[in-house]
Amino acid sequence: MNIILLGPPGAGKGTQAKHLTNTFGLKQLSTGDMLRAAIEGGSNLGKQVQLIVDAGDLVPDNIMIEMITTRITRADCAGGFILDGFPRTVLQAETLHEVLSLKKIKIDHVIALDVKLDSLLGRIRNRALEAPEDQRRQDDDEKTLKHRLSVYKEQTAPVLPYYEKLGVLKTLDGMLTPDEVSKKINEVLAE
């Protein structure tokens, strides 16, 4: 089973990815982790990524897709994977679909966590307060969150209709408790 989790920052994608990993044995794939691993691995791709990141630029879609498709063909993804917060644009979604189709890999479910954007700020504040200082995320501040929400609305939210047309999108109420959201996800996966 291969799943994509979508939703704005603070919607609970990471929490639900952990639930899916623990419950179904799926491998959670984070693009940030993949970028760091590529750089640390010193491969040609990693060297390319290092130059891009050092310049302060965003890693181009073609490199991200190459990293993801290389990663999901590893043995630990044979039982299924979760893409947490990727794709972020319609172009990325279309390209990912094309590349996965060539590899005979399909996305079984796209789960979007729908949350009230005005309540996310409170969630992010709580997450920052509850985390030990040395484990706080640098992007857990009001200014960064507002920017990330704006980017989500402009670039990522349009991905939802794309997956709806493919018949794999299920939107769930992300305002429920994490346990209630997990239960709803389990129900979707059992359909």
Residues forming the active site: 13, 88, 127, 137, 148
Using the Cα atoms of residue 72, residue 108, residue 19 and residue 162 in order, give the sign of their dihedral: positive
